Structure 1
Amino acid sequence: MLTSSSTPNFLQMLNPSELFADIVVEKEHVECTSSIIQALLAFKGLHPGYREKEIEISVAKAVCFLEGKQCHDGSWYGYWGICFLYGTFFALAGLVSAGKTYDNSEAVRKGVNFLLAIQNEEGGWGESFKSCPSEVYTPLDGNRTNLVQTSRAMFGLMFGGQVERDPTALHKAAKILINAQMDNGDFHQQEITGVYMKNCKQHYAEYRNIFPLWALGEYRKRVWVKTKLSQ
């Protein structure tokens, strides 16, 4: 596979696959970049002084990459999940771990505002697979809520400091997750939220449990406690 840094993008036209898009030239991805930023900074915290300058340079370059990949509406396109909610969740995590905040970063502000703007009336989020090939944010039919995607949006808002400004959107989303849990602790399987190379849906069966429980745990730590203390 060729890399985008050394290869003209028109070679994608030679793609022999009838299913997978953009497989001839490998691209840098928001999700991978965000994860590496977080990993490098976690390593730096555990081992201060070790190759510190190189880590700082790498993180600065990665932050610039994330900022440059932001779409006009404030979202980020994700390749390994559907799609703008997935990419925005990762991008905000990476930027905030690198010291960016709602107050000092236009990219973070735009990302948070994107999430708030597409929250549905009941307080959840749901994005259609159609977003992936079209590269345009498309809600689920009927503006339905998807629990996994609602969880990812909650993370983005929590990373972006929405707790301190107005946690109402997070309270509404958390209520949806709590009420959706079945008596046995499981969550219903809804629309598939994994994807590969724009056109291939991927089913991760445990996403339906992992993401809601993870989001509620983070909500309990970041939002609920602060709300109780302020009363």
Structure 2
Amino acid sequence: PFHPFRNLARTKCIEWIIRHQDADGIWGGIQPPTIYSLMALHHEGYRLDHPVLARCFHALDTHWSHEVDGCIYIHASESPVWDTLLSVMAQLDCGLEPGGSDSMYRAIHWLMDRFVEAPGDWQVYVRGVQTGAWAFERANTWYPDVDDTAVALTVLARIRRFMKDSSAIDRAMSIATGWIEAMQCSNGGWAAFDRDNDSRLVTRIPFCDFGEALDPPSVDVTAHVLEAFGLMGRGMDDPVVARAIQYVKNEQEPEGSWFGRWGVNHIYGTAAVLPALEAVGEDMSSQYCIRAGDWIAAHQNTDGGWGESCGSYMDDSLRGKGESTASQTGWALMALLALKADKYRKAVDEGVRWLLDRQKKDGTWDEPQYTGTGFPGYGIGKRTNLEKAAEELDQGAELARGFMINYNMYRHYFPLMALGRARKWLWR
């Protein structure tokens, strides 16, 4: 058959792939596009020792893999920016200040070095806006995300007063704030990587059978933006904040919880929202806030902790139910602590006791469970009608189309945040 534009199309594809390689040699900061890019380039005649491929193999041989029992495991992704931000936040919640910790200053300088000002694919939907954001990974400049950027603003807003010269931080915060505002979706919420990237047409492609093809707004990302803006002095009367709060209210489940897009699941979503509402000055005795707190309290396990199975993404009856974990107990505690309500004092006491009783001698916690969410496997990137989804998606509670994550640091910094905040409230 005659294909006059095939060679041109292949050339354009190769150019795009090479142009989008991260500085460390990976693509998109995640394993699937990296593997597919290697396969595509090798199929097009690129030798394994070609500089583009060699750079990728070097990354896979170093910081993108680890050895266990003589076997090499390639990471699905990496999260140094995310982990560093949340580790600093945990230290701040526990009352530590940069003056007494050189490591905190070093962490902030490291984070500032990863401030992304290069162009990215988000500009397909958002034009004429200055880049200023953070990515999840160490070198992913093409795809910075709103979630990391919002948490970065939260950390920097809390720590800037300790810096002798905060001019670089102030500049980054100003640019990042403008970037986030430009990324607000038409319904008032924020997605992770794009604005209004929610057309379901692409999900109808027959081979669209893994993960998420779309990036619609999510409550947890929106909540992190609200929390950041609140700490920067913006409140309920701010039009950007008001639109986001209305989106959050619209997304609340009838029983009071919120869906968690990037963490398991309704415990994560609800725990993101309540501290955010407190930060922007919401009346935490409002009915919708108390309904959320009641939902959290009602799902406390008999051992005092909280847990939620990944299966809750395919079975509504599993919402808020599962073996207690350190990270999910930390989330639940932070949700209740944001309400500042004495009615939850017993639940808070028992949750704190659960964490203290299970803390190891070295100060850490164990957590074999997966509490991080990459892709629920819906294809559309947001909560869905599970009665229909079970038939259409061909996956059950095992999440065959999904991608769940065991973050090695979640079990440490989230409990520390909760304990630090609990100490402040209990000692008030």
Q: What interval of TM-score do these two structures reach, taking the shorter chain for normalisation?
A: 0.7 to 0.9
Matches within 5 A, 1:39-118: 39-44=228-233, 56-103=238-285, 105-118=286-299
Q: Give 4+ residue runs of structure 1 displaced > 6 Å after superposition.
A: 1-4
Counting only pairs closer than 5 Å after superposition, residues 202-213 of structure 1 correspond to structure 2 as 202-213=405-416
Write out aligned runs for 1:144-155 (5 A): 144-155=323-334
Contact between 1:101 and 1:160, CA under 8 Å: does it hold in 2? Answer: no
Q: Normalised by the size of structure 1, how large is the TM-score?
A: 0.82
How big is the shift at 1:34?
Answer: 1.0
| TM-score, normalised with respect to structure 2 | 0.46
| Aligned 8 A contact 1:82 1:195 in 2 | yes
Shift of the 58–186 alpha-carbon distance from structure 1 to 2, 3 Å rule, reads same
**Shift, 1:84, TM fit:** 0.5
* Structural mapping, 1:1-231, within 5 Å: 5=196, 8-9=199-200, 11-14=202-205, 16-21=207-212, 23=213, 25-44=214-233, 56-103=238-285, 105-134=286-315, 137=319, 139-140=321-322, 144-162=323-341, 164-198=342-376, 199-223=402-426, 225-226=427-428
CA drift of 1:5 comes to 4.5
Report the CA distance between 1:6 and its aligned residue.
Answer: 7.3
Counterpart Cα distance in 1 of 2:302 and 2:370: 22
SS in 1 for 2:327: helix
Q: Deviation of residue 17 (structure 1)?
A: 3.6
Question: Separation in 1 of the partners of 2:419 and 2:233?
Answer: 28
The 2-side partners of 1:63 and 1:118 are apart by: 25
Q: How far did 1:44 drift? A: 3.0
Q: Secondary structure at the match of 2:404?
A: strand
- Identity level (%): 24
Q: Which structure would you say has the larger Rg? A: 2
Q: Work out the CA distance in 2 between the residues paired with 1:218 and 1:173.
A: 13
Query: 2:209, 2:197 → 1: CA distance?
Result: 25
Once residues 170 and 7 of structure 1 are traced to their aligned partners in structure 2, the CA distance between those partners, rounded to angstroms, is 38
CA shift for structure 1 position 101: 3.0
Judge conservation of contact 1:130–1:138 (CA < 8 Å) in 2: no
C-alpha distance 10-91 of structure 1, shift in aligned 2 (>3 A): farther
| 8 Å Cα contact 1:63/1:98 also seen in 2 | no
Check the 8 A contact 1:31/1:90 in 2, yes or no.
yes
The 1:18–1:209 alpha-carbon spacing in structure 2 relative to 1, beyond 3 Å, is same
Q: 1:6 to 1:184 in 2, by over 3 A?
A: closer
Look up the equivalent residue of 1:205 and give its one-letter code.
Answer: N
Alpha-carbon deviations, 1:151-208, whole Å to 9, x = none? 100000001223x334011001100100101112121123011011212111210111
The CA deviation at 1:100 is 2.0
**SS of equivalent residue, structure 1 residue 18:** coil
Could you tell me which runs of 5 or more consecutive residues in structure 2 were left unpaired when the two chains were aligned.
Answer: 1-121, 126-193, 377-401
Asked whether the 8 Å contact 2:297–2:344 carries over to 1, the reply is no
